[in-house]
Every structure is written in structure tokens, then in C-alpha cells.
Amino acid sequence: MKKILILLGALTVLSTTALGNKTGVGLGVGVANSLYKGIDSKAYPIPLFDIEYGNFYVVGTDIGYKMWQNDMYTLSFFANPLEGYRVKASDMEEGYKDIEDRDLQFMGGLRLDADTGLMGIKTAVALSGGQHGAKGRLGFYKPYSVTEKFVIVPGIHSIYYSKDFTDYYFGVDSKELGSNRTGNSKLTSTYSPDSAYSVGINIVGEYRFRDNLAMSFFVGAEKFSKEIGDSPLVDEDYIIMGGTGIKYYF
């Protein structure tokens, strides 16, 4: 499930207007490597949503309400019930199989989408919080119409993770040490990371076969700071992702 959310994030950062979308639903498949030790890359089904009803919208796993908008700016309240990095102890490699499970969390906050007025570049700023910490995201993207039917949207972004967020998902508590749990023989010291950040790049594309049917794709990469990369639970400090799917528009 964690990988599904990462892949959906590549789509969620873009507003539905970036690709000129109508209301659409679809299904795709994506793959990404895992940050955690012993968890291999796998393919997962991904729901694809671009839904608007009045001021309400659903994009990816974000559910939002547009509180104010004009030709340049849109301010929204949004919520995501499936945030974070879910990991089960049983999926970890030997020596880490008795850690506490990390669960997904419900997070909500504010998002501002804006047209920068510079060469068609758009920006999205989002701040959200939940039971296990807070996140902030700043992204820039620019739509390109390759043809009348084919649009690509490259983007860059940076994400801030609060100390509570990084400590919950990547920290190691004293009760998890191998001296207390035989299944954690490779955990010899506690780890309490400070706040962290990541930087990423992604490309989202869409090809319309006809007005109501399109193929979407996305590829991207995310690099995490040392506060996450140095965690004893983490094997890689980066994620590479990609996927494709079909959407039907109403």
C-alpha cells in the first residue's frame, strides 16, 4: 500500500486543470522500490481519479474543497486518509522482523495552486498534519501540449517532514532493540531523527484516444535527506517509480 500512495503522489501534486481533464475514473498499475530493508519492488493496482463536483474534488487519494479561487489562484482544504509509509514487521529482512508496525495516517490541511506568470509555470503549495506529524510540499510544473491529444507535465518538488513524522516512520525505540526482542538482532541502538526533507522530479503524461478515453503514465524519482537515509530501518534513501493506466472521462 505504501508504494501505491507514492505513485499516486506523482499525480496528486498536479491539479486536474493541468491536463485539461474532465471528470474521469480509471485503473492503472505502478511499481516502485521500497525504502525499508528487505522489502522488494512490486507492482500494484492504482485507482486513478479526476473528479470534480462543484467545489469538491477527488484527485489521487486527496479529497478536497475549493474555498476560494480566481484566474490565478485556488485555495483548497484537503484531506488524505492514506498518508505515510506503511510497513509490517513480517515483511522486513531477518534481524528486523519484530519492529512495531508503521501504519498509514489521516492527514488534512491547506493547498494553494497558482499560476506564477512565468513561461506557463504553475506551482502548488500544501501543508498538512495528522496523528503522527506534519508535511509541507512545494512543487513547480509546466504542461506541454505535444499534440492536440498528447500532453506531458514535467515537475519538480520538495517535501518537508516534521520530527514527529520522521520519528514515527523511521525512528527506533528502545523497546524495539535486539536486547529486548530476539527478532530484532540487527537493531543495536535507538534512533530518533530530526525533521527531514526530500526532493523529487516526475513526469505525468496523458494521451487521449478519444474525448472520453485516455492513457496516463507517470515516472519519477524521490531523494531523501540523511535523517531518513541514516535510519537503521532504511535500505535505500531514494525511490524510483513508474506506472501507467487507462481513464474514462464523462
The pLDDT tens digits for 212-227 are 898 989 899 999 999 9
Tell me the pLDDT band of 104, cut-offs 50, 70 and 90.
very high
Which residue in 174, 165, 193 sits closest to 85, CA to CA? 165
pTM of the model: 0.88
Is the Cβ–Cβ distance between 82 and 47 less than 8 Å?
Answer: no
Calpha distance 111→201 (Å, rounded)? 19
Strands in the chain per DSSP E: 24-32, 42-53, 56-59, 62-69, 73-83, 105-115, 122-130, 133-141, 144-145, 150-161, 196-210, 213-224, 238-249
pLDDT at residue 174, as a whole number = 95
Write out the three cell numbers for 71: 484566474
The pLDDT tens digits for 44-81 are 788 888 888 889 988 878 899 999 999 899 999 999 99
Tell me the pLDDT band of 103, cut-offs 50, 70 and 90.
very high
Say how far residue 233 (Cα) sits from the centre of its chain: 20
Tell me the pLDDT band of 22, cut-offs 50, 70 and 90.
low
